[in-house]
């Protein structure tokens, strides 16, 4: 479905700045017997709302198609496990009392909520992917297998009461109707409660040319200003913001109802708003420059891979993340340039990447078919990956990090 109006302010004044063509769903990996069958593909583009500054994709795919069976598990990454353990500690120390209900929207495999088990609070996950919710339950995390919405919020409130804390980490950008989600938050949150939202930050997306994070599951790309506008429509205010390096740069936004307990850190909030304005993140001209940089990266990356191929070098990909499939499909990189990919997740091994059909194996593949170069598609974990693959580097192997411009390490 083409987006005709901004999903926050409802303005029709949308500016399309990037068209990546038609692509399969970024997490729709294929089995070998599916390779010869038709592969669904959908338009993938990005637009700016010239009224409120909200960046969003221009076509929506029904979430039921994308999320009911899902192969991204947060616990795969050491970095993410540590990051969420620290957030759970903050929640427990600052915002909870014994018996408090803590609800996480898009709780995945329970990577965060596991840290709250046995602490005296009541953690509840809301996770739409049936297979992922089952993993969380096996770990002892009570999990509702559903999409979070106003209807879901009313049901939770009726059964368990209001929540002291509602968390939404790296999920807010997946929501097709942000008004329904925020309405649900308003319904479920205590009058003195806190919502904590963590999203990839648009300023980092822009500066680091993170165009590969555009895929059909990622509907929204947030700066602070439109987020404040959205929550203001529901009588809620941002009272603080923190910046983190994970996932290429995220912000954690702290929200409460008007009249809440927590002091509004206005000077800190203003720093983010001033940065966004100075970068031109609410204006089309900045995104025209972004699109030109994306086109240039495609030429540079494919040129580098062709050069290595002509020199007889073997290139494999490390990681098979959703973002990597945007990069591979947009650049037209298949097995003629990248022979195979490896990934730690058993849920992706022995499958083929959507669109370009690069085979994905476990890490042992590199022992039998040793690459000269590893193209790090999971660039947001590049430091972690290079530490884990220190033996590969010591033996003369090199890494390619594709964005913001291709570079060899």
Q: Are 215 and 322 in contact (CB under 8 A)?
A: yes
Task: Look at residue 158 and give its three-state secondary structure.
Answer: helix
Per DSSP, the three-state class of 95 is: coil
DSSP type of residue 142: -
Strand order in the sheet with 42-49: 14-23, 42-49, 55-57, 220-221
Q: Are 75 and 111 contacting, i.e. CB atoms less than 8 angstroms apart?
A: yes
DSSP code at position 30: B
Instruction: Tell me which residue of 364, 325, 358, 322 sits closest to 341, measured CA to CA.
Output: 358
pLDDT, tens digit, 9 for 90 and up, residues 39-61: 999 999 999 999 999 999 999 98
Distance of CA 339 to the CA centre of its chain: 26
> β-strands 163-169, 189-200: how paired?
parallel
Of the chain, the percentage scoring pLDDT greater than 90 comes to: 87
Q: With 70 as the cut, is the pLDDT of residue 143 above it?
A: yes
What's the rounded Cα separation, in Å, for the pair 105 and 185? Answer: 10
Q: Which domains does the chain have, with CATH numbers?
A: 67-282 (3.40.50.150), 285-408 (3.40.50.720)
Token output for 27: 């997490």
pLDDT tens column, 9-40: 999 999 999 999 999 999 999 999 999 899 99
* The two structure tokens encoding residue 275: 């940065």
- Rounded CA-CA distance 113/73 in Å is 14
Whether the pLDDT of residue 295 is over 60: the answer is yes
Higher pLDDT, 246 or 348: 348
Q: What is the largest CA-CA distance in the chain?
A: 66
Strand pairing partners for 42?
A: 23
pLDDT value of residue 72: 55
Q: What's the predicted TM-score (pTM) here?
A: 0.88
Mean pLDDT of 207-227: 95
Q: What pLDDT is recorded for position 248?
A: 74
What pLDDT shows up at residue 71? 55
User: What is the Cα–Cα distance from 313 to 323, expressed in whole angstroms?
Assistant: 24
Q: Residues 379, 227, 107, 322: what is their CA dihedral angle, to the nearest 10 degrees?
A: -30
- CA–CA separation, 380 and 403 (whole Å): 10
What pLDDT score was predicted for residue 68?
52
Q: Is 304 left (phi over 0), alpha (psi -120 to 50) or beta?
A: alpha
Q: Any idea of the CA torsion for 358, 360, 363, 367, to the nearest 10 degrees? A: -50
Indicate if the alpha-carbon torsion angle 243, 244, 249, 252 is positive or negative. Answer: negative
pLDDT for residue 78 is more than 90: no
At residue 347, the pLDDT reads 86
pLDDT above 80: residue 65: no
- pLDDT of 69 strictly over 60: no
| Local confidence band at 225 (pLDDT 50, 70, 90 cut-offs) | very high
Over 80: is that where the pLDDT of 73 sits?
no
C-alpha–C-alpha distance, residues 219 and 47, integer Å: 10
pLDDT higher than threshold 60 for residue 326: yes
From the list 157, 160, 213, the residue with the least C-alpha distance to 186 is 157
Query: What is residue 80's predicted lDDT score, i.e. its pLDDT?
Result: 83
* pLDDT higher than 60, residue 198: yes
Residue 383 and residue 406: Cα distance in Å, rounded? 16
- Tally Cβ neighbours within 10 Å of residue 15: 14
């Amino acid at each position: 479905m083409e987006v005709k109006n901004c999903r926050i302010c409802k303005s029709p004044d949308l500016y399309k700045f990037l068209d990546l063509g038609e692509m399969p769903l970024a997490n729709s990996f294929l089995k070998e017997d599916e390779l010869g069958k038709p592969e669904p593909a959908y338009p993938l583009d990005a637009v700016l709302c010239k009224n409120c500054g909200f960046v969003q994709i221009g076509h929506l795919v029904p979430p039921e198609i994308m999320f009911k069976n899902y192969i991204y598990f947060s616990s795969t990454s050491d970095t993410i496990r540590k990051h969420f353990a620290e957030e759970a500690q903050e929640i427990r120390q600052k915002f909870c009392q014994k018996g408090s209900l803590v609800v996480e929207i898009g709780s995945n495999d329970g990577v965060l909520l596991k840290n709250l088990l046995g602490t005296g609070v009541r953690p509840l996950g809301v996770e739409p992917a049936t297979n992922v919710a089952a993993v969380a339950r096996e770990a002892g995390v009570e999990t509702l297998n559903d999409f979070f919405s106003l209807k879901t919020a009313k049901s939770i409130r009726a059964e368990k009461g209001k929540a002291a804390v509602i968390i939404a980490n790296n999920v807010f950008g997946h929501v097709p109707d942000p008004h329904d989600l925020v309405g649900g938050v308003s319904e479920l949150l205590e009058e003195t409660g806190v919502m904590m939202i963590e999203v990839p930050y648009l300023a980092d997306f822009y500066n680091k040319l993170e165009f590969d994070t555009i895929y059909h599951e990622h509907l929204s790309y947030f700066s602070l200003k439109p987020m404040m506008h959205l929550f203001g429509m529901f009588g809620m205010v941002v009272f603080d913001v923190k910046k983190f390096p994970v996932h290429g740069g995220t912000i954690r936004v702290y929200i409460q109802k008007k009249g809440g307990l927590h002091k509004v850190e206005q000077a800190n909030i203003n720093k983010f708003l001033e940065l966004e304005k100075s970068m031109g993140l609410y204006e089309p001209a900045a995104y025209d420059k972004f699109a030109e940089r994306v086109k240039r990266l495609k030429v540079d990356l494919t040129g580098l891979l062709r050069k290595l191929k002509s020199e007889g070098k073997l290139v494999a990909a490390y990681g098979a993340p959703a973002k990597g499939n945007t990069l591979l499909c947009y650049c037209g990189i298949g097995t003629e340039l990248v022979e195979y990919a490896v990934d730690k997740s058993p849920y992706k091994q022995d499958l083929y990447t959507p669109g370009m059909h690069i085979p994905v194996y476990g890490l042992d593949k590199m022992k039998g078919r040793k690459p000269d170069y590893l193209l790090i598609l999971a660039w947001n974990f590049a430091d972690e990956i290079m530490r884990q693959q220190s033996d590969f580097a010591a033996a003369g192997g090199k890494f390619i990090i594709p964005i913001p411009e291709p570079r060899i390490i």
